[in-house]
Copies of this chain bind each other. A is one copy, B any other.
Amino acid sequence: MTVYLHDIPLETAQERLQSALEAGGLWQRIGEETIPLDEHALGRVTAAPVWALLSSPHYHAAAMDGFAVRAADTAGAQPTAPLTLAVIGGGANRASTALHDVALRPCTYVDTGDPLPDWADAIIPVELTEPTLEAGGNAVEIRRPPQIRIRASVAPWSHVRPLGEDIVATQMVLPAGHTLRPADLGAIAAAGHTHISVARRPRVAILPTGTELIPVGVKPSRGKIIEYNSIVMAAQIAAFGGEARRSPIIADDLDQICRGLTAAAAEHDLILLNAGSSAGEEDFAAAAIEKLGTVLLHGIAVRPGHPVVIGMIRRPGQEKPVPVIGVPGFPVSAALTLDLIVEPLVSKWLGRREKAFDVVEAAITRKLVSPPGDDDFVRVSLGMVNGRLLAAPLPRGAGVISSLVQADGLALLPRGVQGLEEGERVSVRLLRTASEMRNTIFCVGSHDMTLDLLSEELIERDRRMVIVNVGSQAGLIALARGYAHLAGSHLLDPESGEYNISFLRQYVPRKRLRLVALVERQQGLLVMPGNPKGIRQLEDLARGDVRFVNRQRGAGTRVLLDYHLDRVGILPANVRGYNEEQYTHLNIAAAVASGRADTGLGIAAAASALGLDFVPLFRERYDLVMPVGDEDEPLLVPILEVLNAGSFRAAVGKWPGYDTSVTGSVLVET
């Protein structure tokens, strides 16, 4: 098996691609087209500087409705000593009334935008003039009374928009490479253009490959994977300013992939082949590119994302080749590969600077290990706790696209860095604006599905809640160390049979705290649909025909199990599978669903997620722990409002296994 992946640094990869494109005459603006000036021009990139053909205004224009005057004629007008001006001209040709027609101290009515008569050099707003009217004067007469009185002088050019005030003919209105925004379109029109020359949108072919892939809409059987990378990539290309075309799924077959590449090369500027970019038996990306052209590199030292192939293939009947990027199959790797490799290329082809990210410094909330040979991009949630900007790492698996959905930023652990200690500072590329992070609540601890509902309700109250699942005990420790606004906890004290209270002083000794009930929930036994083994109570775990699956030591649910086994007098040694440990409620459910075990202890929601039956056994309380009297307290006030609002209780009440009768009660304040 030829494993020929070589991880080369990102910049080297970019340089190698750039050199190949330069050699092929492709490292430049890809083309131009002329489009009309309308809202569809938004986001397009100017292909050349826009020079003004006209000045705007293209004549000296009245900036208000009023009377055009010679400023010198108004000298001496005072509140107590009005001056009288003679109204002349008017109508369609009033603007061109020549000076030699004009009486002493002339004035003439103009609407906003009308040309200033040649003899005039200022406007007096109509509301500062007093018409000298006959009784019963009508509207026409108001605009053309025989005379007006003024009680203040005006300076030359008052309320006049001089020719070219906005734009001067021949000046540069916009540079080349400018991404068009609404106001830009107005300026271009004002400068006398009807159309604009913009960079052509790069055409990008997306070829999903993989025998295991099924299109969106087909129900997946075991081993089949819904092909959605092409949707994400097409959307990224659109967001970068390109045009994407998605091909149907191609099987893992070298010939079919080559045919797909050749067909795409005829009509596209870039081909994204996804996946098969690794070095396994069914990874044909490199082989296909090699067959049709040249592989420039295979493997980039970036995580997630490193099995990237970059090459150039021949374009049928043409001289210039087409670049092909073999994009890794894991969705986070794929998305990051497009951001790092394709966005700069599309920007170059559009003649625009590549996207500049805002970067902030934040303290990492937990220790991270990083491969020292790679630029490691870690998705993080960002929030401000007690005046310190924190970055909480999200799940790092390259298959976890939800981590990209949740990410506020990408923390970069560059090559050479082996990891970070808790609290160490790291640079984070922002994916949201700073204002979106201002109202962020960090909720760290055990997970419960009702936190999703709480989070949803908080949006209405201008708060965003980031939920970090680390378990109850770790949540309280995070609160103590200043890495959380809020901890979610369901820690049973086996001595008292009470939840959480005794642990507050133990884990968070230096803070004043409020313990608020979130919900009461059922823990119980997850069993196959129809409960074929007839499992009804905890005592059934001691039956010889029942295979159990357990949670790991330290989990709140394990504590609960041990407490109740002890109460009914069952020894762990008598529970078959007691030492078989799983780390989440859902893994318990999966073990049962797959037949690996007959039952396990967990929450109803996990059973429901995998279509299992549920035997309720214990009711436990899940609480929120929040600080009192510190600077973040105002941020948390809406949580109490939501907990006491009917809509939250109603939503939770629709789910099996939850009880909201204690929701929102303040149980303890330390």
Contacts and interface: CB of A to CB of B under 8 A. Distances in A.
A602 to B, nearest CB: 12
Contact of A111 (B194, B229, B282, B455): B282
Interface string A154-168: 000100011111111
Interface stretch (A356-364, A499-507, A511-519, A617-625): A356-364
A400 to B, nearest CB: 5
A526 to B, nearest CB: 13
A399 B57 contact: yes
Contacts of A595: 118
Contact of A161 (B143, B170, B358, B399): B399
Contact of A139 (B113, B169, B281): B281
B127 A165 contact: no
**Most B Cβ at <10 Å: residue of A58, A358, A595:** A58
A1 B39 contact: no
A405 B187 contact: yes
A81 interface: no
A628 interface: no
Interface string A170-203: 1111111100011111110110101000000000
Given A280-B126, A452-B171, A244 B401 contact: no
A449 interface: yes
Contact of A126 (B1, B232, B233, B246): B1
Interface stretch (A212-220, A264-272, A562-570, A641-649): A212-220
Nearest to A404: B183
A143 B282 CA distance: 11
A290 interface: no
Nearest to A92: B223
A664 interface: no
A527 B301 CA distance: 66
B166 A112 contact: no
B235 A609 contact: no
A405 B605 contact: no
A220 B38 CA distance: 19
Interface stretch (A317-325, A417-425, A432-440, A535-543): A432-440
B223 A115 contact: yes
Given A358-B433, A435-B359, A405 B183 contact: yes
Nearest to A328: B112
A281 B192 CA distance: 29
A438 to B, nearest CB: 8
B65 A278 contact: yes
A206 to B, nearest CB: 10
Q: How many copies does the complex hold?
A: 2
Interface in A365-423: 395, 397, 399-402, 404-405
A56 B590 CA distance: 12
A235 B42 contact: yes
B449 A171 contact: yes
Contacts of A152: none
A329 interface: yes
A59 B171 contact: no
A177 B464 CA distance: 12
A113 B222 CA distance: 10
Nearest to A95: B223
Contacts of A111: 212, 280-282
A156 to B, nearest CB: 8
A118 B596 contact: yes
A37 interface: yes
Interface in A16-46: 37-39, 41-42
A220 B435 CA distance: 44
A353 interface: yes
A340 interface: no
A186 B590 contact: no
A184 B216 contact: no
A60 B590 contact: yes
A225 interface: yes
A253 interface: no
A201 B293 CA distance: 46
Given A63-B397, A161-B397, A609 B166 contact: no
A54 interface: yes
B226 A399 contact: no
B164 A586 contact: yes
Contact of A232 (B49, B186, B449): B186
Interface in A590-634: 590, 594-596, 605-606, 608-610
Nearest to A51: B452
Would you list the 9 A-B pairs with minimal beta carbon distance, nearest first? A189-B228, A182-B235, A183-B404, A65-B280, A186-B232, A356-B435, A163-B590, A39-B234, A172-B452
Given A173-B405, A185-B235, 15 more contacts: A37-B216, A38-B231, A54-B226, A115-B222, A118-B595, A163-B590, A163-B610, A165-B395, A174-B405, A176-B456, A182-B232, A185-B228, A190-B331, A194-B217, A356-B436
Interface of A: 1, 3, 37-39, 41-42, 49, 54-61, 63, 65, 95-96, 111-115, 118, 126-127, 139, 142-143, 157, 161-177, 181-187, 189-190, 192, 194, 210, 212, 216-217, 220, 222-223, 225-226, 228-229, 231-239, 244, 246, 278, 280-282, 329, 331, 335, 353, 356-359, 395, 397, 399-402, 404-405, 433-436, 449, 452-453, 455-456, 459, 462, 583-584, 586-587, 590, 594-596, 605-606, 608-610
